[in-house]
A = this chain, B = another copy of it.
């Protein structure tokens, strides 16, 4: 099947949003629209086809108040492959250091003729605030521990790609659930598509309150391991830990790292995901990270495709 004959030129009638703020607010149908579109874009990339000129007249700004070369680059490549112009606006060099407010900075950027603001901010809700105050599209690239919807989407896309469907699968998120926007976006998206979700980690990082919304919680990876279809191993974000939520890295690795021993006790076709950058030897050993069950690099490739899909939906021409 060639992408030549596939239609992604115009935004489908089933997509009406101008922003992507989180997966909590999306319907299963909307998530499926994004994922189906991402599959098409991934195919065009695999064919090394010319750029897909859907956003030729558009300008996308990366407005990142937290450092992230990887996510920023992924969005920039996605935007440029759609023909858009991209501009980086980082906090350290911006006018915020001159006393300007967050909203004023964003409004000024918008006034230069910007169509999409991709924002990362340590404060939950910052993208919503922008969406309320700007006329252009806003995409959340991570707001504190709240949501990181394109990360959730690329994880789910990878599961769907490897397994055909998400429905009925048991997916465990392992690690620092308490501080993870990736966990939150995954949980919302996976549940909407019919997966059973388990959050697993030390009791300091996993709350029993997840049960209230139908998410299973567990403090023992070994206990849940035999019945898990997908393991998503969250990074221990050493740079975010102010006090230590576990006695030592060694202790954490002993209880929660995926290694050869634990792999022997999983289903044969278990799928291993990890939102990079990974700490080899902490949450995952090299044998697992580089093994056949791992889809870590596919996640990165899918990230560009998912971001192309989201950008083309929120900023593309409607019929």
A interface vs B, CB < 8 Å? Answer: 45, 48-51, 56-57, 59, 67, 69-70, 73-74, 76-77, 80-81, 85, 87, 89-90, 93-95, 97-101, 104-105, 107-109, 111-113, 235, 237-239, 276-280, 282, 297-298, 300-301, 303-304
| B112 lies within 8 A of A279 (CB) | no
By a CB distance below 8 angstroms, the chain B residues around A99 are 238, 277, 279, 282
By a CB distance below 8 angstroms, the chain B residues around A69 are 89-90, 93-95
| A87 lies within 8 A of B93 (CB) | no
Quickly give the copy total for this chain.
3
| B108 lies within 8 A of A276 (CB) | yes
| B74 lies within 8 A of A104 (CB) | no
| B57 lies within 8 A of A100 (CB) | no
CB proximity of A312 to chain B, nearest CB, Å: 16
Write 8 A-B pairs (CB below 8 A) sorted by A numbering: A69-B93, A69-B95, A70-B95, A77-B112, A99-B238, A100-B276, A112-B300, A112-B304
By a CB distance below 8 angstroms, the chain B residues around A280 are 101, 104
| B57 lies within 8 A of A104 (CB) | no
By a CB distance below 8 angstroms, the chain B residues around A278 are 100, 104
> Lowest 4 CB-CB distances: which A-B pairs, in order?
A100-B277, A111-B300, A95-B277, A111-B297
Contact flag A112-B277 (CB < 8 Å), given A85-B77, A87-B76, A98-B239: no
- Which of A74, A93, A113, A235 has the largest number of chain B CB atoms within 10 A? A113
| A95 lies within 8 A of B276 (CB) | yes
Cα–Cα, bound, A101→B289 (Å): 13
Cα–Cα, bound, A261→B101 (Å): 23
CB proximity of A285 to chain B, nearest CB, Å: 13
Which residue of B has the minimal Cβ distance to A279?
B99
Which residue of B has the minimal Cβ distance to A85?
B80
Which residue of B has the minimal Cβ distance to A58?
B48
By a CB distance below 8 angstroms, the chain B residues around A77 are 59, 85, 87, 112-113
Which residue of B has the minimal Cβ distance to A45?
B113
| A73 lies within 8 A of B87 (CB) | yes
By a CB distance below 8 angstroms, the chain B residues around A98 are 235, 237-239, 277, 279
